[in-house]
Amino acid sequence: MPKHPAYPRLEELFRKLSILGDTTSVLQWDMATMMPDGGAAARGEQRALLKAMAHGLLTAPEVPDLLDQAASETLDPWQSANLREMRRDWTHAAAVPAALVEALAVAEAACETVWREARPAADFARVRPRLDALLALVRETAAAKAEALGVSAYDALLDQYEPMGRAADIAPVFDALAAALPPLIDAVLAAQATRPAPLVPAGPFPVAAQKAMGIELMTALGFDFRHGRLDVSCHPFCGGTPEDVRITTRYDEDDFASGLMGVLHETGHALYDFGLPGGRWRHQPVGRARGMVMHESQSLLMEMQACRSQPFVAWAAPKLKAAFAGQGPAWEADNLHRLGLVVKRDFIRVSADEVTYPAHVIVRTRLEQALIAGSLSTADLPAAWNDGYRQVLGIVPPDDRLGCLQDIHWYCGAWGYFPTYTLGAMTAAQLFAAACAQVPGILPGVGAGDFRPLLGWLKEKIHGHGSVLSTAELVADATGRPLDPAVFTAHIRQRYLG
Query: Which residues are catalytically annotated?
Result: 266
Q: Whole-angstrom Cα distance, residue 228 to residue 215?
A: 11
Q: Which helix (H) or strand (E) holds 50?
A: helix 40-58
- How many Å is the maximal CA-CA distance in the chain? 82
Q: Whole-angstrom Cα distance, residue 420 to residue 414?
A: 12
Q: Could you tell me if 16 and 57 are in contact, meaning their C-beta atoms sit under 8 angstroms apart? A: yes
For the beta carbon of residue 480, count every other beta carbon within 10 angstroms: 11
The packing angle between helices 357-373 and 381-392, to 10°, is 140
Q: Whole-angstrom Cα distance, residue 282 to residue 16?
A: 12
Q: Whole-angstrom Cα distance, residue 82 to residue 63?
A: 15
Phi, psi of 278 (to 5 degrees): -105, -150
126 alpha-carbon distance from chain centroid: 27
Q: Could you tell me if 121 and 234 are in contact, meaning their C-beta atoms sit under 8 angstroms apart? A: no
Q: Whole-angstrom Cα distance, residue 448 to residue 312?
A: 7
Q: Whole-angstrom Cα distance, residue 361 to residue 434?
A: 25
The contacts of residue 172 (CB under 8 Å, 6+ apart) are none
For the beta carbon of residue 168, count every other beta carbon within 10 angstroms: 9
Q: Could you tell me if 372 and 154 are in contact, meaning their C-beta atoms sit under 8 angstroms apart? A: yes
Q: Does residue 228 sit in helix, strand or coil?
A: strand
Q: Which helix (H) or strand (E) holds 245?
A: strand 244-249
> Which residue, among 16, 110, 6, has the nearest Cα to 63 in the 3D structure?
6
For the beta carbon of residue 123, count every other beta carbon within 10 angstroms: 16
Q: Could you tell me if 259 and 252 are in contact, meaning their C-beta atoms sit under 8 angstroms apart? A: yes
Residue type, 26: V
Q: Whole-angstrom Cα distance, residue 175 to residue 153?
A: 20
> Which residue, among 230, 311, 224, 272, has the nearest Cα to 463 in the 3D structure?
272
